[in-house]
Amino acid sequence: MKLMTGEEYIESIRRMRIEVYMMGKKIDNPVDDPILRPSLNSVRMTYDLAQKAEYEDLMTACDPDTGEKINRFNHIHRSTEDLVKKVKMQRLLGQKTASCFQRCVGMDAFNAIYSTAYETDKKYGTRYFENFKTFLRYVQENDLVVDGAMTDPKGDRSLSPHEQADPDLYLRVVERRPDGIVVRGAKAHQTGILNSHEVCIMPTVAMGPEDKDYAVSFAVPVDTKGIFLIIGRQSCDTRKLEGGTIDVGNAEFGGVEALVVFEDVFVPNERIFLNGETEFAGMLVERFAGYHRQSYGGCKVGVGDVLIGAAAVAAEYNGCAKASHIKDKLIEMTHLNETLYSCGIACSCEGNKTESGNYIINLLLANVCKQNVTRFPYEIVRLAEDIAGGILVTAPSEKDLRDPVLGKVVEKYLKGVASVSTEDRLRILRLIENLALGSAAVGYRTESMHGAGSPQAQRIMIARQGNMAAKKELAKTLAGIKDRKNS
């Protein structure tokens, strides 16, 4: 199997005919659109690093079924070592892009579907596991990007899928044919689907028998007839149209989200991984969520490394790097960031083998990891903003700096330490702004809250996995309390 180069990946996306809309207009060439291109560059990094010998151990894996080298994003975890390397790979990519590199959802979907399809087949005698393995082999052989799609619009959260006033608010099967199914609905907040070759659909909640049409999992090419994307807005996104590099903060890399609509999309039988077996919908949701919550102990930590570094540089440029309170804030940022990483590593090391043979993380620790991610990045951002100073949000534009008259004024009055140019000071401040408030906040701060489920979703899983009964028995034993029901 030949791994694609970054440039080959770019051209493979260019050849696709994905239907894309942004700001009320159809985008005929998303690959070269200045707002969208940075997100493509982020995915490209997953290909570029896989070509480098120094990153081969993290970025690639050996598929045990073929003995071939594949991109780790298309790998089925076969050991706790694989789970650990996944987190380390994600931290590396966060460091290299300071943004969302978009392939984690597909990797996490692969591993959740792999074990769930196996157990569904075991009960019902279906062929979902073979279907999925055939699809996965195709993805590996062609070194493709696959987007994992779980989140439905949901409509009225108090109602189950089949109870919604509009039945399309959860993606559903509207027709079953001898050769496949037809689906209708939408998936929201879809990270990276614009830059993906395929999309892998999963249900979004546990379901009852009445929700049979909504318990569906499958994969189709992103440019399949009936699929179209509406790109989500990001703060400061139109700065990318201004032609400069300073005000963007991170000119090369970025993320992208979309609302993905399925208008009567046909799915052939061989691409179906779940079709009405409602009792396995919850299993798939729980496993995917666990894998994806593990992911945040890597990717957000890598971006956090960049933000901490930027705050330290800003302190130097402001002339206050030696102040004890600045040093203490940087220590606290590092402490919080490494705590997140520790959780990602811990849930990986404590993983276990599923019936299908792949490895799943420790679900309790994965949810603890993500619960911390809903909190710590906000404090890291707060401290970065504190260190940077108010100039972070009041600095003039790059056009003012470049103006032949105004530029001299900006250069004079926004100077920090004498040895650092005003331009460099503004560049580091804009990078912090990008990570804390701008378009990258989708891939760091705000996504830390809502990505892979809301904080309450993790708390529910922590309560479910925490084994309170066993803890109570430990306490009773040490306290000398005996069960007196039968005495």
3-state SS, the chain, equals: CCCCCHHHHHHHHHCCCCCEEECCEECCCHHHCCCCHHHHHHHHHHHHHHHCHHHHHHHEEECCCCCCEEEHHHCCCCCHHHHHHHHHHHHHHHHHHCCCCCCHHHHHHHHHHHHHHHHHHHHHCCCHHHHHHHHHHHHHHHCCCEEEECCCCCCCCCCCHHHCCCHHHCCEEEEEECCEEEEEEEECCCCCHHHCCEEEECCCCCCCHHHHHHCEEEEEECCCCCEEEEECCCCCHHHHHCCCCCCCCCCCCCCCCEEEEEEEEEEEHHHEEEECCHHHHHHHHHHHHHHHHHHHHHHHHHHHHHHHHHHHHHHHHHCCCCCHHHHHHHHHHHHHHHHHHHHHHHHHHCCEECCCCCEECCHHHHHHHHHHHCCHHHHHHHHHHHHHCCHHHHCCCHHHHHCCCHHHHHHHHCCCCCCCCHHHHHHHHHHHHHHHCCHHHHHCHHHHHHCCCCHHHHHHHHHHHCCHHHHHHHHHHHHCCCCCCCC
Residues 6+ apart with CB under 8 A from 469: none
User: By C-alpha distance, which of 319, 358, 364, 354 is closest to 460?
Assistant: 364
User: By C-alpha distance, which of 186, 272, 275 is closest to 229?
Assistant: 186
Catalytic residue numbers read 100, 104, 191, 257, 292, 296, 299, 447
